[in-house]
Amino acid sequence: MSIIEQSGTFTLGGRSVERLGYGAMQLAGPGVYGPPKDHDAALAVLREAVESGVDHIDTSDFYGPHVTNQIIREALHPYRDDLVIVTKVGARRGEDKSWNPAFSREELTQAVHDNLRNLGLDVIDVVNLRLMFDVHGPAEGSLEEPLTVLADLQRQGLIRHIGLSNVTATQIAEGQSITKIVCVQNQYNLAHRGDDALIDDLASSGIAYVPFFPLGGFSPLQSSTLSNVAARLNATPMQVALAWLLRRAPNILLIPGTSSVGHLRENLAAAALVLSDEVVKELDQVGEIAA
Protein backbone atom coordinates (compact mmCIF):
# COMPACT_ATOMS: atom_id res chain seq x y z
CA MET A 1 0.00 0.00 0.00
CA SER A 2 1.37 3.42 -0.98
CA ILE A 3 1.48 6.24 1.54
CA ILE A 4 -1.42 8.14 0.03
CA GLU A 5 -3.62 5.03 0.02
CA GLN A 6 -3.41 5.03 3.80
CA SER A 7 -5.62 8.13 3.80
CA GLY A 8 -8.57 5.99 2.68
CA THR A 9 -11.12 6.83 0.01
CA PHE A 10 -14.46 8.59 -0.29
CA THR A 11 -16.92 9.11 -3.11
CA LEU A 12 -16.77 12.42 -4.96
CA GLY A 13 -19.26 12.84 -7.77
CA GLY A 14 -19.82 9.12 -8.13
CA ARG A 15 -16.11 8.30 -8.23
CA SER A 16 -13.94 6.97 -5.43
CA VAL A 17 -10.94 9.20 -4.73
CA GLU A 18 -8.09 9.13 -2.24
CA ARG A 19 -8.93 11.38 0.68
CA LEU A 20 -5.66 13.29 0.34
CA GLY A 21 -5.63 15.38 -2.84
CA TYR A 22 -3.96 18.55 -4.05
CA GLY A 23 -5.08 22.19 -4.25
CA ALA A 24 -3.61 24.21 -7.12
CA MET A 25 -4.12 27.75 -5.78
CA GLN A 26 -0.46 28.24 -4.82
CA LEU A 27 0.71 27.52 -8.36
CA ALA A 28 -0.14 31.11 -9.33
CA GLY A 29 1.96 34.13 -8.42
CA PRO A 30 1.84 36.17 -5.18
CA GLY A 31 -1.70 36.91 -4.08
CA VAL A 32 -2.91 34.11 -6.39
CA TYR A 33 -2.33 36.53 -9.25
CA GLY A 34 -0.12 36.28 -12.32
CA PRO A 35 2.38 33.56 -13.24
CA PRO A 36 4.44 31.59 -10.72
CA LYS A 37 7.98 32.59 -9.90
CA ASP A 38 9.20 29.19 -11.07
CA HIS A 39 7.13 27.71 -13.89
CA ASP A 40 9.11 24.48 -14.09
CA ALA A 41 8.72 23.92 -10.34
CA ALA A 42 4.94 24.26 -10.71
CA LEU A 43 4.92 21.60 -13.41
CA ALA A 44 7.09 19.34 -11.26
CA VAL A 45 4.76 19.60 -8.25
CA LEU A 46 1.73 18.55 -10.29
CA ARG A 47 3.52 15.64 -11.90
CA GLU A 48 4.92 14.48 -8.56
CA ALA A 49 1.44 14.67 -7.00
CA VAL A 50 -0.15 12.46 -9.65
CA GLU A 51 2.78 10.05 -9.70
CA SER A 52 2.39 9.74 -5.92
CA GLY A 53 -1.24 8.67 -6.30
CA VAL A 54 -3.15 11.93 -6.02
CA ASP A 55 -6.37 11.53 -8.02
CA HIS A 56 -8.24 14.68 -6.94
CA ILE A 57 -7.02 18.15 -7.95
CA ASP A 58 -8.85 21.31 -6.93
CA THR A 59 -8.45 24.43 -9.04
CA SER A 60 -10.24 27.45 -10.51
CA ASP A 61 -9.83 29.56 -13.59
CA PHE A 62 -9.93 32.68 -11.41
CA TYR A 63 -6.60 31.61 -9.89
CA GLY A 64 -4.18 33.74 -11.81
CA PRO A 65 -6.60 34.26 -13.52
CA HIS A 66 -6.26 31.34 -15.99
CA VAL A 67 -2.73 30.57 -14.78
CA THR A 68 -3.24 27.44 -12.68
CA ASN A 69 -5.52 25.73 -15.19
CA GLN A 70 -3.07 26.35 -18.00
CA ILE A 71 -0.25 24.90 -15.87
CA ILE A 72 -2.36 21.86 -14.99
CA ARG A 73 -3.03 21.25 -18.67
CA GLU A 74 0.63 21.65 -19.60
CA ALA A 75 1.77 19.31 -16.82
CA LEU A 76 -0.84 16.57 -16.98
CA HIS A 77 -2.80 16.59 -20.25
CA PRO A 78 -3.88 14.07 -21.50
CA TYR A 79 -5.19 13.27 -18.05
CA ARG A 80 -5.21 9.88 -16.36
CA ASP A 81 -8.61 8.24 -16.45
CA ASP A 82 -8.79 8.16 -12.64
CA LEU A 83 -8.00 11.87 -12.15
CA VAL A 84 -10.90 13.96 -10.87
CA ILE A 85 -10.52 17.69 -11.53
CA VAL A 86 -12.71 20.03 -9.49
CA THR A 87 -13.02 23.72 -10.26
CA LYS A 88 -15.07 26.60 -8.95
CA VAL A 89 -16.90 29.57 -10.43
CA GLY A 90 -18.67 32.61 -9.00
CA ALA A 91 -15.79 35.07 -8.70
CA ARG A 92 -13.52 37.10 -10.95
CA ARG A 93 -10.26 38.88 -10.31
CA GLY A 94 -9.91 42.63 -10.66
CA GLU A 95 -6.79 44.26 -12.05
CA ASP A 96 -6.08 45.37 -8.48
CA LYS A 97 -5.99 41.64 -7.48
CA SER A 98 -9.39 41.96 -5.80
CA TRP A 99 -11.89 39.08 -5.58
CA ASN A 100 -15.26 40.13 -7.01
CA PRO A 101 -18.63 38.36 -7.35
CA ALA A 102 -19.47 36.99 -10.81
CA PHE A 103 -22.96 35.51 -10.52
CA SER A 104 -24.73 36.55 -13.72
CA ARG A 105 -25.72 33.94 -16.30
CA GLU A 106 -23.21 35.37 -18.74
CA GLU A 107 -20.36 35.40 -16.22
CA LEU A 108 -21.01 31.86 -14.99
CA THR A 109 -21.40 30.46 -18.50
CA GLN A 110 -18.19 32.17 -19.60
CA ALA A 111 -16.38 30.88 -16.51
CA VAL A 112 -17.35 27.28 -17.25
CA HIS A 113 -16.20 27.63 -20.86
CA ASP A 114 -12.94 29.27 -19.71
CA ASN A 115 -12.29 26.33 -17.38
CA LEU A 116 -13.02 23.83 -20.14
CA ARG A 117 -10.72 25.58 -22.61
CA ASN A 118 -7.81 26.18 -20.27
CA LEU A 119 -7.95 22.69 -18.78
CA GLY A 120 -8.39 21.07 -22.19
CA LEU A 121 -11.59 19.26 -21.21
CA ASP A 122 -14.91 18.57 -22.89
CA VAL A 123 -16.69 18.16 -19.55
CA ILE A 124 -15.69 19.13 -16.00
CA ASP A 125 -15.98 16.48 -13.29
CA VAL A 126 -17.19 18.84 -10.55
CA VAL A 127 -17.92 22.56 -10.55
CA ASN A 128 -18.34 24.31 -7.21
CA LEU A 129 -20.42 27.45 -7.01
CA ARG A 130 -18.38 29.78 -4.82
CA LEU A 131 -20.73 32.21 -3.08
CA MET A 132 -19.49 35.75 -2.64
CA PHE A 133 -22.05 37.41 -0.40
CA ASP A 134 -19.06 37.88 1.91
CA VAL A 135 -15.60 37.22 0.50
CA HIS A 136 -14.26 36.38 3.97
CA GLY A 137 -16.76 33.68 4.91
CA PRO A 138 -20.28 32.30 4.50
CA ALA A 139 -23.15 34.81 4.57
CA GLU A 140 -26.82 34.22 3.96
CA GLY A 141 -28.35 34.95 0.57
CA SER A 142 -30.23 32.98 -2.06
CA LEU A 143 -28.19 30.92 -4.51
CA GLU A 144 -31.18 29.97 -6.69
CA GLU A 145 -30.30 32.09 -9.72
CA PRO A 146 -26.60 31.20 -10.09
CA LEU A 147 -27.11 27.53 -9.19
CA THR A 148 -29.89 27.24 -11.76
CA VAL A 149 -27.40 28.42 -14.39
CA LEU A 150 -24.96 25.67 -13.42
CA ALA A 151 -27.77 23.10 -13.44
CA ASP A 152 -28.59 24.20 -17.00
CA LEU A 153 -24.95 23.78 -18.04
CA GLN A 154 -24.97 20.36 -16.39
CA ARG A 155 -27.97 19.35 -18.51
CA GLN A 156 -26.03 20.52 -21.56
CA GLY A 157 -23.30 18.01 -20.70
CA LEU A 158 -20.58 20.53 -19.76
CA ILE A 159 -20.60 19.64 -16.05
CA ARG A 160 -20.90 16.19 -14.48
CA HIS A 161 -21.50 17.18 -10.87
CA ILE A 162 -22.10 20.33 -8.82
CA GLY A 163 -20.82 21.39 -5.41
CA LEU A 164 -20.99 24.49 -3.22
CA SER A 165 -18.32 26.64 -1.59
CA ASN A 166 -18.38 29.26 1.16
CA VAL A 167 -21.94 28.35 2.14
CA THR A 168 -24.24 28.01 5.13
CA ALA A 169 -26.42 25.04 6.04
CA THR A 170 -29.47 26.99 4.85
CA GLN A 171 -27.87 27.55 1.44
CA ILE A 172 -26.95 23.87 1.15
CA ALA A 173 -30.58 22.92 1.78
CA GLU A 174 -31.69 25.42 -0.86
CA GLY A 175 -29.11 24.05 -3.28
CA GLN A 176 -30.29 20.49 -2.76
CA SER A 177 -33.80 21.55 -3.73
CA ILE A 178 -32.43 22.68 -7.10
CA THR A 179 -29.89 19.98 -8.00
CA LYS A 180 -27.83 17.19 -6.46
CA ILE A 181 -24.93 18.55 -4.39
CA VAL A 182 -21.91 16.22 -4.22
CA CYS A 183 -19.52 18.28 -2.10
CA VAL A 184 -19.22 21.33 0.12
CA GLN A 185 -16.04 23.38 0.31
CA ASN A 186 -15.73 25.71 3.30
CA GLN A 187 -12.95 26.96 5.52
CA TYR A 188 -12.21 24.45 8.26
CA ASN A 189 -9.14 23.36 10.17
CA LEU A 190 -7.93 22.43 13.63
CA ALA A 191 -8.52 25.94 14.96
CA HIS A 192 -11.40 27.09 12.72
CA ARG A 193 -14.20 24.63 13.52
CA GLY A 194 -17.47 26.42 12.89
CA ASP A 195 -18.65 23.65 10.56
CA ASP A 196 -18.38 20.78 13.06
CA ALA A 197 -22.11 20.00 13.05
CA LEU A 198 -22.38 20.55 9.30
CA ILE A 199 -19.60 18.06 8.57
CA ASP A 200 -21.41 15.36 10.54
CA ASP A 201 -24.71 16.09 8.78
CA LEU A 202 -23.04 15.87 5.37
CA ALA A 203 -21.30 12.62 6.33
CA SER A 204 -24.65 11.03 7.12
CA SER A 205 -25.83 12.06 3.64
CA GLY A 206 -22.73 10.76 1.85
CA ILE A 207 -21.67 14.27 0.77
CA ALA A 208 -17.96 15.10 0.67
CA TYR A 209 -16.66 17.99 2.77
CA VAL A 210 -13.53 19.64 1.37
CA PRO A 211 -11.96 22.12 3.80
CA PHE A 212 -10.05 24.95 2.22
CA PHE A 213 -7.20 26.48 4.19
CA PRO A 214 -6.72 23.13 6.00
CA LEU A 215 -3.42 24.51 7.28
CA GLY A 216 -4.68 28.01 8.00
CA GLY A 217 -4.23 29.56 4.56
CA PHE A 218 -3.03 33.14 4.66
CA SER A 219 -2.81 32.85 8.49
CA PRO A 220 -0.90 29.59 9.11
CA LEU A 221 -1.88 27.56 12.14
CA GLN A 222 0.14 28.43 15.22
CA SER A 223 -0.40 26.49 18.42
CA SER A 224 1.95 25.34 21.14
CA THR A 225 -0.24 22.25 21.60
CA LEU A 226 0.08 21.42 17.91
CA SER A 227 3.84 21.99 17.98
CA ASN A 228 4.28 19.84 21.08
CA VAL A 229 2.28 16.97 19.63
CA ALA A 230 4.25 17.18 16.38
CA ALA A 231 7.56 17.04 18.26
CA ARG A 232 6.46 13.94 20.18
CA LEU A 233 5.37 12.21 16.97
CA ASN A 234 8.50 13.24 15.05
CA ALA A 235 6.29 15.00 12.52
CA THR A 236 5.72 18.57 11.37
CA PRO A 237 2.83 20.59 12.82
CA MET A 238 1.24 20.69 9.38
CA GLN A 239 1.38 16.90 9.06
CA VAL A 240 -0.36 16.58 12.41
CA ALA A 241 -3.01 19.12 11.39
CA LEU A 242 -3.72 17.17 8.19
CA ALA A 243 -3.80 13.85 10.03
CA TRP A 244 -6.28 15.33 12.50
CA LEU A 245 -8.56 16.34 9.63
CA LEU A 246 -8.40 12.84 8.14
CA ARG A 247 -9.33 11.45 11.54
CA ARG A 248 -12.10 14.03 12.10
CA ALA A 249 -14.69 12.54 9.69
CA PRO A 250 -14.69 9.96 6.88
CA ASN A 251 -16.21 12.36 4.35
CA ILE A 252 -13.41 14.93 4.64
CA LEU A 253 -11.28 15.23 1.49
CA LEU A 254 -8.08 17.25 1.83
CA ILE A 255 -6.60 19.56 -0.81
CA PRO A 256 -3.48 21.09 0.76
CA GLY A 257 -1.60 23.22 -1.73
CA THR A 258 2.06 23.96 -2.24
CA SER A 259 4.47 25.06 -4.97
CA SER A 260 7.29 22.90 -3.57
CA VAL A 261 7.90 19.21 -4.31
CA GLY A 262 9.50 18.79 -0.88
CA HIS A 263 6.52 20.33 0.87
CA LEU A 264 4.17 18.21 -1.24
CA ARG A 265 5.91 15.05 -0.05
CA GLU A 266 5.60 16.21 3.55
CA ASN A 267 1.87 16.82 3.10
CA LEU A 268 1.26 13.43 1.51
CA ALA A 269 3.18 11.70 4.30
CA ALA A 270 0.43 12.84 6.69
CA ALA A 271 -1.68 9.98 5.31
CA ALA A 272 0.52 7.52 7.21
CA LEU A 273 0.48 9.44 10.52
CA VAL A 274 -1.59 7.64 13.15
CA LEU A 275 -3.06 9.72 15.96
CA SER A 276 -4.09 8.00 19.17
CA ASP A 277 -7.39 8.84 20.88
CA GLU A 278 -5.43 10.68 23.57
CA VAL A 279 -3.62 12.84 21.00
CA VAL A 280 -6.88 13.63 19.23
CA LYS A 281 -8.43 14.81 22.50
CA GLU A 282 -5.40 16.99 23.11
CA LEU A 283 -5.62 18.51 19.64
CA ASP A 284 -9.38 19.05 19.94
CA GLN A 285 -8.63 21.56 22.67
CA VAL A 286 -6.94 23.83 20.11
CA GLY A 287 -10.33 24.45 18.53
CA GLU A 288 -11.96 25.01 21.90
CA ILE A 289 -9.31 27.60 22.83
CA ALA A 290 -9.65 29.33 19.44
CA ALA A 291 -13.42 29.46 19.82
Which among 63, 79, 188, 209 is annotated as catalytic?
A: 63
* CA gap 169, 240 in Å, rounded: 28
Non-local CB neighbours of 144 within 8 Å, separated by 6+ positions: 174, 178
CA distance 97 to 50: 30
Question: Taking the C-alpha atoms of 142, 102, 108 and 112 in order, what is their torsion angle to the nearest 10 degrees?
Answer: -130
Rounded to whole angstroms, how far apart are CA atoms 16 and 11? 4
Q: Catalytic annotation on 63?
A: yes
> Mind telling me the catalytic residues?
63
